Chains A and B, each alone.
Chain A
Amino acid sequence: MVNRVLAVSLLAGLLAGLLVAALQHVTTTPLILKAETYEAALRAAGPTHAAFTGEARVILAHGAAEAGHGEHAEWKPQDGIQRTLFTSAVTIATAIGFAALLLAGMIAANDVIDERRALIWAACGFVAFGLVPATGLAPELPGSASAELAQRQLWWIVTALVTAGGLFVFLRFDAPWLKALAVLAILAPHIVGAPHPAAPESKVPAEIAAHFAALSLAIQAALWLATGFAVGVIWPWLSRRAVAAQ
């Protein structure tokens, strides 16, 4: 069964990741490249933007790292085909990860793994890992101001895990007090609040940022659903083959 989990994760992730990497190439990536031109203009405008404002540090994407390291610039993929290849590979790796988490949940819950159920789990995965964390930390373009990265990552991870757990308890347990507890748990990270910068600093036009936020959520939804669908098709197929081979 472990082998089948690994095989299905890899296959489903590869297929869904390739599809979504192609989508990214024509949707979110062009907007990221456009935002980087505003970011570069902002960096050229002067050092005042790298200052501290209030409690939250304004972190310029790329700016801090490049200013801090001088001539020892870190490796990064060259613009063009190399950057596209790395982005696609990382998207495929993400899809494999989502497929593995999906399978972990479905096997732990002892669910039958078929297209319909895998898609429902994938939709819940998107709600927990995409939609709900985004209500606190909206998808950002390079160049936007934000609070300290580690704090945002911590809030994102806690919110995603608590939302996933809360959804599961709400959907699978009948006791009213458990359902109420699940709703409270899902709301808790939002009552605490996501870390935000003291003042918005982005020079990227709001129209581009808004378009990007909507697109990136749609892309994550597509990644989850494509991954779920592929898991729901490939798992039964490999299971039938295993039974036939016995």
Chain B
Amino acid sequence: MNTVAVSTQSSVSERAKAVAAALVLGFVLIYTVGFAASASVHNAAHDTRHGLAFPCH
């Protein structure tokens, strides 16, 4: 399987960079859509926050 070869070829530092980038992207996005207190962001995200069971209001 090609994916096995690819994942074992990747060096530890390359993986660390990829994990860091993914964590930053993930947490920034989830924080903004689900938790940011700004009224405009809240109003834009309102139905999704309720619809995905994030704490809202």
- Chain B residues near A140 (CB, 8 Å)? 50, 55-57
- Interchain CB contact under 8 A, A9 and B48: no
Q: Which residue of A lies closest to B50 (CB)?
A: A32
Count of A-B residue pairs with CB < 8 Å: 172
Q: Which residue of B lies closest to A59 (CB)?
A: B57
**Complex: how many Å from CA A76 to CA B57?**
14
Chain B 2-15, CB-CB to A under 8 Å as 1, else 0, gives 11111100100011
Interface size class of A (residues with CB under 8 A): 35 or more
Q: Which residue of A lies closest to B24 (CB)?
A: A100
- Contact with B23, one of A28, A101, A141 (Cβ below 8 angstroms): A101
- Interchain CB contact under 8 A, A235 and B23: no
- Contact with A219, one of B22, B40, B51 (Cβ below 8 angstroms): B51
Interface size class of B (residues with CB under 8 A): 35 or more
**Complex: how many Å from CA A65 to CA B56?**
13
Q: Is A77 an interface residue (CB 8 A)?
A: yes
Interface hits, A1-50 → B, CB 8 Å: 1-2, 4-6, 9, 24, 27-29, 32
- Interchain CB contact under 8 A, A74 and B40: yes
- Interchain CB contact under 8 A, A107 and B30: no
| Shortest Cβ distance from residue B7 to the other chain A in the assembled complex, whole angstroms | 6
- Chain A residues near B15 (CB, 8 Å)? 1, 107-108, 110
- Chain A residues near B48 (CB, 8 Å)? 24, 87, 90-91, 94
Interface hits, B1-57 → A, CB 8 Å: 1-7, 10, 14-15, 17-19, 21-23, 25-30, 32-35, 39-40, 43-57
- Interchain CB contact under 8 A, A112 and B3: yes
- Chain A residues near B51 (CB, 8 Å)? 24, 27-29, 32, 87, 91, 216, 219
Contacts A61-B56, A157-B35 given: A101-B44 contact, CB under 8 Å?
no
Q: Which 10 A-B pairs have the closest CB atoms?
A: A97-B29, A76-B43, A100-B26, A104-B22, A101-B26, A28-B51, A139-B53, A74-B39, A152-B55, A97-B30
Interface residues of A (CB under 8 A from B): 1-2, 4-6, 9, 24, 27-29, 32, 59-62, 65, 74-77, 83, 86-87, 89-91, 93-94, 96-101, 103-104, 107-108, 110-114, 130, 133-134, 137, 139-142, 146, 149, 152-153, 156-157, 212-213, 216-217, 219-220, 223, 235-236, 239-240, 242-243
Some 28 contacts from A to B, beta carbons below 8 A apart, are A1-B15, A2-B17, A2-B21, A9-B22, A29-B47, A29-B51, A74-B40, A76-B44, A86-B44, A90-B33, A90-B44, A96-B25, A97-B25, A97-B27, A100-B29, A101-B22, A103-B22, A108-B19, A111-B7, A112-B4, A112-B7, A113-B7, A140-B57, A146-B57, A213-B53, A216-B51, A216-B53, A243-B2
